[in-house]
Copies of this chain bind each other. A is one copy, B any other.
Amino acid sequence: MTETEIPAIPVALDAVGGDFGAAPNVEGAVAAARSGLSVLLVGERVKLHAELGRYPGASALPLEIIDAPDVIGMDEHASDVRGRREASINVANRLVKDGRASAVVSMGHSGASMAASLFTLGRLKGVDRPAILTHLPSKTGPSGSGFVTVLDVGANADVKPQYLAQWAGLASTYLKVVEDRQHPSVGLLSIGEEDHKGNALTLEVHALLRQAAEAGRLNFHGNIEGRDIFAGTTDIVVTDGFTGNIVLKLAEGEARVLFGWVRDALRSSLLGKLGGLLVRPSLRGVAARMNPSTYGASLLIGVNGLSYIGHGSADAVAVKNALLRADRASQMRLVERLNAELQASADPKADPKAE
């Protein structure tokens, strides 16, 4: 998208969700709007109006406030979503459902965001349970990308084998459509590379993925281990939402601690301090690579619409990047393509490429 091209359908932002409320959301939306994106800011009108007033020239940007008097707090229950129609996350999801927004982005309560999208948008036909898809940096990646795509990172703590098989297909289509990778490889996260290694769940999933690969529906690499995630052995890492959530939080937490040790080591001696000044610019790039703001937000894949869910602690950079990613997926017609692939899988005679 160039700066002059303004997309027909805006992205809806839950502009009051997250640990820091409106401030980082509005700042990120303003930054996205300055690069040409239309954004609907959903939340309490008076508050958002005041926040927008801090940005000179904001009134000329493609930003619109959609009033939503209520908000689900970070410490409330996800199930509260059902009864509170006027909560910002519900209003934002309805904008997508009604075709007034191309996607919804929220840095608010993750469980509430999932529930709102699931209830309001519904599931794609052929998907039992939506999953949260995210990216982690990797050494190179089999396609030289520098990131791996991991799902589910937390939507489903308890799973059935077919969920993981469906997610592998969804993620394959996602990478084809959004990242233009033609045959993304799928790795099943397990505890040994050999086919017979794993737990009761992965053994069943392995058989399903093998079948799907034999039917030409995906590129199954086989089992992978924990070390393969950062090594980038496969494009996609498929796992249950319990394991995936632990993987994500361990990966982020470990990076934070290791970089802290590097920082401390550089401060511990005079030579280290001097050297540290010289290497700081080089190390900044490494730290940026591990910064969750780079990807902005994770995709709730499998719902009938585009829904992005980010960290409660997201900053304005994360908000901006999430809005741009959501818009890109919409322009690539991701949901329509996911639907087409699902229908083709259900009816093997149909060719998705002939849609």
- A sample of 8 more A-B contacts (CB under 8 A), given A190-B242, A202-B242, A226-B252, is A158-B200, A189-B246, A198-B242, A225-B249, A230-B258, A250-B250, A258-B290, A272-B279
- Is residue A245 contacting chain B, with contact meaning CB distance below 8 A? yes
How many angstroms between the C-alpha atoms of A255 and B229 in the bound complex? 12
Q: Are B275 and A279 in contact (CB under 8 A)?
A: yes
Of A120-128, A280-288, A299-307, the stretch lying at the interface with chain B is A280-288
Q: A307 → chain B, closest Cβ, in Å?
A: 20
Q: Which among B158, B225, B260 is the interface contact of A199 at CB below 8 angstroms? A: B158
- Is residue A215 contacting chain B, with contact meaning CB distance below 8 A? no
Residues of B within 8 A of A271 (CB): 278-279, 281-282
Q: Are A265 and B283 in contact (CB under 8 A)?
A: yes
- Is residue A157 contacting chain B, with contact meaning CB distance below 8 A? yes
How many angstroms between the C-alpha atoms of A111 and B228 in the bound complex? 21
Tell me the dominant secondary structure on chain A's binding face: helix
Pairs A-B, 10 closest by C-beta atoms: A275-B278, A226-B249, A227-B253, A226-B250, A275-B279, A265-B282, A157-B199, A272-B282, A230-B257, A226-B246
Can you report 11 residue pairs joining A to B where beta carbons are below 8 Å apart? A139-B260, A157-B198, A157-B200, A158-B200, A225-B245, A225-B246, A230-B250, A230-B254, A254-B254, A254-B258, A271-B278
Q: Which among B225, B253, B275 is the interface contact of A276 at CB below 8 angstroms? A: B275
Residues of B within 8 A of A226 (CB): 245-253
- Is residue A350 contacting chain B, with contact meaning CB distance below 8 A? no
- Is residue A340 contacting chain B, with contact meaning CB distance below 8 A? no
- Is residue A9 contacting chain B, with contact meaning CB distance below 8 A? no
Q: Are A274 and B283 in contact (CB under 8 A)?
A: no
- Is residue A154 contacting chain B, with contact meaning CB distance below 8 A? yes
How many angstroms between the C-alpha atoms of A256 and B232 in the bound complex? 13
In the complex, which residues 110-146 of chain A have their Cβ closer than 8 Å to any Cβ of chain B? 138-139
How many angstroms between the C-alpha atoms of A230 and B252 in the bound complex? 10
> Which residue in chain B gives the minimum CB-CB distance to A228?
B253
User: By the criterion of a CB under 8 Å from any partner CB, how many residues of chain A are at the interface?
Assistant: 59
> Which residue in chain B gives the minimum CB-CB distance to A245?
B191
How many angstroms between the C-alpha atoms of A24 and B230 in the bound complex? 28
Residues of B within 8 A of A259 (CB): 258
- Is residue A277 contacting chain B, with contact meaning CB distance below 8 A? yes
Q: A291 → chain B, closest Cβ, in Å?
A: 13
Q: Are B275 and A253 in contact (CB under 8 A)?
A: no
Residues of B within 8 A of A275 (CB): 274-279, 282
> Which residue in chain B gives the minimum CB-CB distance to A254?
B230
- Is residue A35 contacting chain B, with contact meaning CB distance below 8 A? no
Return the CB mask of A194-232 against B: 1 if under 8 Å, else 0: 000011101000000000000000000000011111110
> Which residue in chain B gives the minimum CB-CB distance to A248?
B226
Q: Are B278 and A262 in contact (CB under 8 A)?
A: no
Residues of B within 8 A of A269 (CB): 281-282
- Is residue A343 contacting chain B, with contact meaning CB distance below 8 A? no
Residues of B within 8 A of A285 (CB): 265
In the complex, which residues 230-248 of chain A have their Cβ closer than 8 Å to any Cβ of chain B? 230-231, 241-243, 245-248
Chain B CB within 10 Å, residue with most, of A157, A189, A252: A157
Q: Which among B200, B255, B261 is the interface contact of A289 at CB below 8 angstroms? A: B261
How many angstroms between the C-alpha atoms of A202 and B157 in the bound complex? 10
